[in-house]
Chains A and B, each alone.
Chain A
Amino acid sequence: MTQAINKEWPLWEVFVRSKMGLEHKHSGSLHAADAEQALRMARDVYTRRQEGVSIWVVPSAAITASAPEDKGELFDPAADKIYRHPTFYQLPEEVNHM
């Protein structure tokens, strides 16, 4: 690692909640010296066209992601637990709109 890279501003992930949106969605990432600057830049870069009403910025290093190789084991158990879904239960006609 060279000197220049050590002096690089850290990376932040940007999440934006749109006006009608219920949740924050990942919009992208950017480099900024601190959280406040990251927010300001996220406002300019990701909400120039009124894309959102709320912004979260998170240091990228704070995020831990699931490993793609584990996709199989990690998400598989869902398939054999179909009883988790309400549609699994057939109730008598009279109450089936429950």
Chain B
Amino acid sequence: MYTQAIDVAGKVASLDDARALSEAEQQQLARFDERMAADQKIEPQEYMPAEYRKTLVRQISQHAHSEIVGMLPEGNWISRAPSLKRKAILLAKVQDEAGHGLYLYSAAETLGTSRDQMIDALHSGKAKYSSIFNYPTLTWADVGVIGWLVDGAAIMNQVPLCRCTYGPYARAMIRICKEESFHQRQGFDALLAMMAGTQQQRDMVQEAVNRWWWPVLMMFGPSDKDSIHSAQTMKWGIKRISNDDLRQKFVDAAMEQAKVLGVTFPDPDLKWNAERGQHDYGTIDWSEFWRVVNGEGPCNKERVGARVAAHEKGAWVREAALAHAEKQRQRAARQAA
């Protein structure tokens, strides 16, 4: 949210010539480590190790991509929403997602990348987005389930990020979390209405829950023993709670909510463990997870295809806007002269 385009008075901080560590740089690194240990915030113009920067660019940009691609599965139901009220709510929600994407791209840009570069990486398949958006929305109930479970999982993931050590990311997350809780509540509300309806509507909800449950659990990422980035991001205060711990917290919370709603989750091993004070749950199909992450999920090609098409077909509009702005600028300059 604070931009790299801002000039630092009298000094041009170069991002990448910190390859060979001089003595001065070693001191900077030591100071950085101290600040990490003291859990202080880092701001865009300050020194940070190249790896910290790279990790953040990766994580924030993929987070931004998720918001943007995430508009597609829900957008699929805008024109078919069952009532005007639900349609207006869904429109507002999808608008929020666009805003979240924007906040996050801005936060990532403070690290010295540009939005065009990031979008390029998304379109070429170099950058990833959340695995969840590669699943199709087959019925209206899916829209409610996405609000309740998908956004619920997102909030679980994002609340700890509000305290992350990189200032612009933390501030973007605070804003996003506030709006995200609207999304989760409206999703639950839509499902409650359906559960109070006909048997057919209740079946539709249960069937949607069955399809989304496992993909939602996968949103928390690989299990701790397989998570390659975890140790370092924990040390840097980018990640606060491990993937498995967050997933457990989510399962425990979702079980309570499912009772209220009157649905079950498709997992025969899911039950309360009095000894641990938590729910046990079955094993995630990690082969499916990796397949989806690596581009072979049900909708990967469709999602990226839709993004690329929008970008390419919109090129002339973006150019027109720039040309118009330039013409206005010249006209204003002429009038001032």
Question: Taking beta carbons and an 8 Å cutoff, which residues of A are in contact with B?
Answer: 4-5, 7-9, 11, 13, 26-31, 33-34, 37, 44-45, 48-49, 60-61, 63-69
Contact among B5, B8, B115 with A61 in the assembled complex (CB-CB below 8 Å): B5
Contact among A37, A60, A67 with B5 in the assembled complex (CB-CB below 8 Å): A60
24 of the cross-chain contacts (CB-CB < 8 Å) are: A4-B116, A5-B114, A7-B318, A9-B322, A13-B3, A28-B175, A29-B3, A30-B106, A31-B115, A33-B318, A33-B325, A37-B321, A37-B325, A44-B95, A45-B102, A45-B103, A49-B179, A60-B3, A64-B6, A65-B8, A67-B9, A67-B10, A67-B45, A69-B11
Question: Taking beta carbons and an 8 Å cutoff, which residues of B are in contact with A?
Answer: 1-3, 5-11, 43, 45-47, 95-96, 99, 102-103, 106, 109, 114-117, 120, 172, 175, 179, 318-319, 321-322, 324-325, 328-329
Contact among A5, A7, A9, A63 with B7 in the assembled complex (CB-CB below 8 Å): A63
In the assembled complex, the Cα of A69 lies from the Cα of B31 at a distance in Å of 12
Nearest opposing residue in chain A for B42, CB measure: A68
In the assembled complex, the Cα of A20 lies from the Cα of B96 at a distance in Å of 24
Give the chain A neighbours of B172 by CB distance below 8 A.
28
Contact among B9, B117, B328 with A34 in the assembled complex (CB-CB below 8 Å): B328
In the assembled complex, the Cα of A31 lies from the Cα of B64 at a distance in Å of 15
User: Taking A33-B325, A48-B95, A67-B11 as contacts, is the C-beta distance between A28 and B103 under 8 angstroms?
Assistant: yes
User: Taking A13-B3, A63-B7, A67-B8 as contacts, is the C-beta distance between A8 and B46 under 8 angstroms?
Assistant: no
Question: Per DSSP, are chain B's interface residues mostly helix, strand or loop, or mixed?
Answer: helix
Give the chain B neighbours of A27 by CB distance below 8 A.
1
Q: Beyond the given A9-B322, A33-B322, please list 14 additional residue pairs across the A-B interface where CB-CB is below 8 A.
A: A5-B114, A7-B322, A8-B114, A9-B321, A28-B175, A29-B106, A29-B109, A33-B318, A45-B103, A63-B5, A65-B9, A67-B8, A67-B10, A67-B11
Nearest opposing residue in chain A for B106, CB measure: A29
Is B3 a contact partner of A48 (Cβ separation < 8 A)? no
Is B325 a contact partner of A34 (Cβ separation < 8 A)? yes
Question: Within the complex, what minimum Cβ distance (angstroms) separates A48 from chain B?
Answer: 7
Is A65 a contact partner of B6 (Cβ separation < 8 A)? yes
Is A9 a contact partner of B318 (Cβ separation < 8 A)? yes
